[in-house]
Amino acid sequence: MNAPDRPKLDVDDLLRRIRDEVARPLGESGARSAGVGAFSPSRDFGRDNAHSPLPDLELEPTFETHSSGYAIEDFTALQHAAFIRAVYRGILRREPDAPGLHHFVQKLERGDSKLLILGLIRYSPEGRRHAVPVRGLRWRFAIERACELPIAGSVVRFLVDLARLPALMREGRQNETRVAAQLAAVNEHAAAANRATYGMAAQALETSNGLAARVKRSEDQADGQKREAETFARAFDEFYAVFEKKFRGERGDVKDQVAVYVPKLIAAGVGTSEAPVLDLGCGRGEWLELLKERGLQARGVDTNRTMLASCRAMNLDVAEADALASLIETPAASLGAVTGFHIVEHLPVPYLVSMLKETSRTLRRGGIAIFETPNPENVMVGSHTFHLDPTHLKPIPPATLKFFMEAAGLRDVEVTYLHPSPAHEWLMTADPAVGDFVNSRFFGPRDYAVIAHKA
C-alpha cells in the first residue's frame, strides 16, 4: 500500500518569511528604545557583533563593603532600592529583609531624606551593635531629626535648606549630568543590543539558508528516489504479470481449479450484498470473475497495478490496497467470506498472524475463510516448484496454517488437499505399498486449502 504523500516544504516561501522578519524594523513591534538609532544592515550585520557578549548595563555606582567605615556620599550616591540595599549591606552587614526593604522604599517615595533613613538604620539597635563608622552622620542625622519636630521643625528645615542651597544647586547639576550619562549609557547599550541581535539574526538567516538548501536537496533526492522506486515498481508489476501467466497457468485452468470453493460459499449463504466476499491478493482476478459469473458479490485488493488494470478491463470490483490495511479499514462482522489464493506464502509470519486475526474480526457469524497455498508435504513442491517464484518467502506446512487460523479465533478448521500430479506421472512398482508411499510424497497434492468458519 502506498504511503500518503507528505505536504511539500515551500523553501522559497520559508526564506522569504525569514528575510521579511529579519529586515522588519524593531519599531514595528514596539521593541525599539527611544533615542536609539535606526538599524543599518550594511553597518551592523557583522559576525563580530553576533559573537561579542554584551556587558551588563550598570547605571548606579558600584557599592563595595569594607570595615574602615564610610562617607555619607558612599550611600547617598545610590538611588531608590539600591540605596536601601547598600545601607543594609554596609551598616547591618546583611541583605535587607523584604518587609524592611519595602518599608524604607516607601519612606523614600513619601519624600523622607536619605540622611534620615541612613541615620534610622545606623542608630537602630542592630546598627548600634555593629557600630559601623559613617563620617559626619551623627550631627547631620540630629539635624534631620530636629526637622521632624512640630512647628520648630519647619523653621529648622527652612534654615537648613537655606544654608544648603548652594550645595543643593551643585547636586542638581551633578544629578543632571549623571542622568544624561545614564541615558547615553542606556542608548549605547540598546544600540549594542540591536547590533548583537541583528548580527545573530544574520547568522541565523545564513544558517537557515544553508538548512533550507540542504532540506531542498534532501527533498529533491527523496523525490528522485521515489520516482526511481515507482519506475521499478511498475516494471516489476509488468514482469510479475508475465511470470504468473507462465507459471500460474492459463486463466481458464485457474478458474476450473478454484471452482471447487463456490459450493462452500453458497452453502454458507455468503456472496450477497449483506455478506460480500473479499479476495486478498486477487491477482489476475480469475476467482472474482468466476464469482461474478455465478452472481455472487465480491471485491478484491492487490498491489500489482498491471494485474489490477486487467481486472478493471473486465469490470471487476478491485482496488489497489495492502491486504492487512484493507482488512483493518473494514468494519467488524461486515464480510461473508475472506479468501486468499497463493498469498500466505508471500507474507512474513507477524503480518500473516495479524491478517488472519483481522479476517476473524471482519467476518460475520457463519462467515467462511479460505486460504490456498502450495503443499510442502509434497517433496517436489517443497524442494523445487515452490522456489520457482522468487517472491515466495517459505512454505507453510498444513498443520502450521491450521493452527494460525484457530489461534485467530476461527472454528471448524479443516484442511483440503488439492491438485495431485496426473496419474501418468505416478511411479508404478511391483510393491503397491512402496508405490503408494512414493507417489503420495512426490506426486500427491501440490496445493492445500485451509477452510474455517466464524462461530
Ordered alpha helix ranges (H), 314-450 = 323-328, 349-362, 379-383, 398-407, 432-442
Considering the chain, what percentage of its residues have pLDDT values greater than 70? 81
Task: Measure the CA–CA gap between 147 and 115, rounded to whole angstroms.
Answer: 12
Q: What are the Cα distances from residue 1, in Å, to 180, 354, 373, 390?
A: 73, 16, 22, 20
pLDDT tens-digit readout, 63-117: 888 878 999 888 988 888 999 999 999 999 999 999 999 999 998 999 888 889 9
Percent of the chain at pLDDT above 90?
50
> What is the pLDDT averaged over residues 195-203?
80
Determine contact, residues 69/133, Cβ cutoff 8 Å: yes
Which helix (H) or strand (E) is 367 found in, with range?
A: strand 363-374
- For residues 164 and 177, which has the higher predicted lDDT (pLDDT)? 177
Task: Report the predicted TM-score, pTM, of the whole model to 2 decimal places.
Answer: 0.54
pLDDT tens, position by position, 252-269 = 999 999 999 999 999 999
Q: Convert the pLDDT of each residue in 121-160 to its tens digit.
A: 999 999 999 999 999 898 888 888 877 777 666 666 667 6
**What confidence score (pLDDT) does residue 448 get?**
98
Enumerate domains of the chain plus CATH numbers. Answer: 10-225 (no CATH), 248-453 (3.40.50.150)
Runs of H (alpha helix) within 77-164: 80-87, 98-110, 114-122, 125-130, 137-146, 152-163
pLDDT digit string (tens) for 382-418?
999 999 999 999 999 999 999 999 999 999 999 999 9
